Amino acid sequence: MVRHALLTVGVVVVGGVLLGLAFRGPGDATAIWTSAAVAVVVQLAAFSLGRVVGAGNLTARIGIGALLRFLAIVTYALVVILLVKLPATAALVSLAAFFFLSTVLEPLLIK
């Protein structure tokens, strides 16, 4: 679990720096780093929940993680657009990118 957390944080930090080069508008940096924090929390929750729910079933493990990430993106989109008023493009692209990058590395950690 610690290895997964460190890998996720590392990928998110590198991705955040790179996305910061692409998104330079007002509020974009705040949106990217807010998305980074959300991505780390959701990824760790998805990995932990997947270990419990799908202990003997890899398909269930992957499915519960995908469902949790999908719900996180939908909820985050509504919160970002309606309540917090962060730049929606930077926030949602960065969250999706963080999820994608860390999810691609996840199979390396599943045993």
Q: Position of tokens 């924090």?
A: 37
Q: What is the pLDDT of residue 54?
A: 63
Query: Which residues 6+ apart lie within 8 Å of 18 measured at CB?
Result: none
- The pTM is what? 0.86
pLDDT at 102: 87
Residue 5 · residue 44 · CB < 8 Å: yes
Domain count, the chain: 1
* Residue span of the structural domain in which 63 resides: 2-108
Contact present, 97 and 23 (Cβ < 8 Å): no
Confidence class for position 93, pLDDT limits 50, 70, 90: very high
- As a whole number of angstroms, the distance between CA 109 and CA 111 comes to 6
As a whole number of angstroms, the distance between CA 102 and CA 111 comes to: 16
Percent over 70 (pLDDT), the chain: 95
pLDDT value at residue 75: 94
